[in-house]
Each structure stands twice: as C-alpha cells, then as structure tokens.
C-alpha cells in the first residue's frame, strides 16, 4: 500500500494524503488541485507519538465511514475539531487507545486531515472491523455551517479516496453500519444513529442513497 508524505495527485487532479511520518503540531495549508476546484485540505496530522497517535496501528483502507459530529457549537468547525485531536482533548476511556481519532473533518469551506489513511483510527466500533479497515470522515454541524456545502465537499473527498484506494461504492458506509462492542467491558452498544441527518429512522434509506449517488457522480468525473 502506498504511503504518502503530504497530499498526492490522483490522475493529475486530486487529493493530498498524509504519510506515516511524524508531523509537527502546527498545521500547514496546501492547495488541492481537483476537477471541481480546490478542496482546501489542511494538514493537521496529529504529531507522531503524541495524543491519539501515542500508539499507531497500520491499516489497509477497505471502507470509508461517514460520521456527523453532533457538535452544534458555533465555533465547532473542522479546524476546531482538528485542534482537539492534535492536543488529545477527546479522551475516551472505553477504547484501547484512550482517545477518539479519525482521518478527516469536513465543514463547508475546508477539510482537515488528522490521521494518515494507512493508520487505524478510533471512530467507529472500538476494536472492531470499522476501525480496523475504514477511513473515518466527520461532517461538521456547527452553527452557521452550510450542510449542503459540507455534504458536497464530503462527497468529493469520498470520491477521491475511493479512486486512490480502490474502494467500491458499496464500501462507503454510515457509522450506523458498524456494531459497537465496547472494549473495556465488552458491552454491546448496538448501531449508532449516525450521521443522523442522512438516515431514515436510524437506517440507510432514500437520503443515504441520494448521498451515494452524489459520490458516484463525482467518482465518474475522475
């Protein structure tokens, strides 16, 4: 599997994906050439050996898991979530890492990457197959954020990741797809209603299928 230092071009037009190397805590911004213009991906990789990367586990991504932050505070945009991940503010006592981590956070104007795509995160199902095999994308819901713009940006990012890693549309799943068995006490928490605004009564339905159709439309443009 390829391992990238910052973000790399996919067929002369695409996305930057970070490598396994340790990164400094201060993020840098890189222009991202893409068929639809810049996606404004910001390198916010958690420094190696710190916070949610004090321990790393290799991953070959086979799925993409779509989340929503359920954080409605006005300032809870992508940059704020990336900062929390870098500083280790999102502790989680019930998983083996001790922190929540995911790969990308998306809002209506930017994308922050917090983990290399070839490292496992803690975003889906504790020590289950969701974390072991999927790239986690969190969509922001902060006050003032445009949900339609966030969905479009997420669809474009997902299409690029699908192409880069050979992931089929059938393996683009909501967080709800993964059954959550808690690491600390083996408690079965079932399936989370996430991303809630793309599910129908907690299940993928017409809204989820429409979102997949948007992703597939962008994938075909690559």
Residue 5 clears pLDDT 70, i.e. is over it: no
In the chain, where the domains are located = 28-221
pLDDT, tens digit (0-9, with 9 covering 90-100), for 28-44: 333 334 456 678 899 99
- Torsion sign, CA atoms 158, 190, 53, 74: positive
CATH topology of domain 28-221: Lysozyme-like (3.40.80)
Reported confidence tier of residue 189, pLDDT bands at 50, 70, 90:
very high
Mean pLDDT of the residues in the chain: 86
pLDDT, tens digit (0-9, with 9 covering 90-100), for 111-161: 999 999 999 999 999 999 999 999 999 999 999 999 999 999 999 999 999
Residue 17 clears pLDDT 80, i.e. is over it: no
pTM for the predicted model, two decimal places: 0.86
pLDDT, tens digit (0-9, with 9 covering 90-100), for 43-76: 999 999 999 999 999 999 999 999 999 999 999 9
Contacts of 72 (CB under 8 A, 6+ apart): 141, 142, 143
User: Residue 84, Cβ neighbours under 10 Å: how many?
Assistant: 19
**Residue 123 — left, alpha, or beta (φ > 0 → left; ψ -120 to 50 → alpha)?**
alpha
- Torsion sign, CA atoms 160, 116, 96, 52: negative
pLDDT at residue 26 in the model: 37
Mean pLDDT over 15-33 rounds to: 36
Contact (CB, 8 A) for 34 and 15: yes
List, in sequence order, the alpha helices (H) in the chain.
Answer: 78-87, 129-133, 147-165, 206-221
């Amino acid at each position: 599997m390829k391992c990238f230092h910052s973000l790399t071009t996919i067929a002369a037009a695409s996305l930057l994906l970070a490598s396994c190397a340790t990164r400094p805590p201060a993020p840098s911004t890189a222009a991202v050439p893409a068929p639809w213009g810049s996606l404004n991906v910001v390198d916010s990789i958690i420094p190696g050996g710190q916070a949610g990367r004090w321990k790393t586990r290799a991953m070959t991504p086979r799925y993409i898991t779509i989340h929503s932050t359920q954080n409605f505070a006005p300032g809870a945009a992508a940059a704020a979530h990336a900062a929390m991940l870098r500083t280790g503010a999102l502790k989680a006592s019930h998983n083996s890492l001790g922190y929540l981590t995911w790969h990308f956070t998306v809002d209506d104007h930017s994308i922050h990457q917090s983990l290399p795509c070839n490292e496992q995160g803690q975003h889906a199902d504790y020590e289950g197959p969701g974390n072991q095999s999927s790239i986690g994308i969190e969509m922001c819901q902060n006050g003032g954020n445009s949900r339609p713009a966030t969905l479009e940006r997420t669809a474009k990012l997902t299409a690029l990741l699908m192409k880069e890693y050979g992931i089929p549309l059938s393996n683009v799943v909501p967080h709800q797809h993964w059954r959550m068995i808690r690491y600390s006490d083996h408690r079965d928490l079932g399936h989370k209603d996430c991303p809630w605004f793309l599910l129908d009564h907690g299940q993928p339905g017409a809204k989820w299928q429409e979102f997949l159709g948007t992703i597939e439309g962008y994938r075909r443009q690559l």
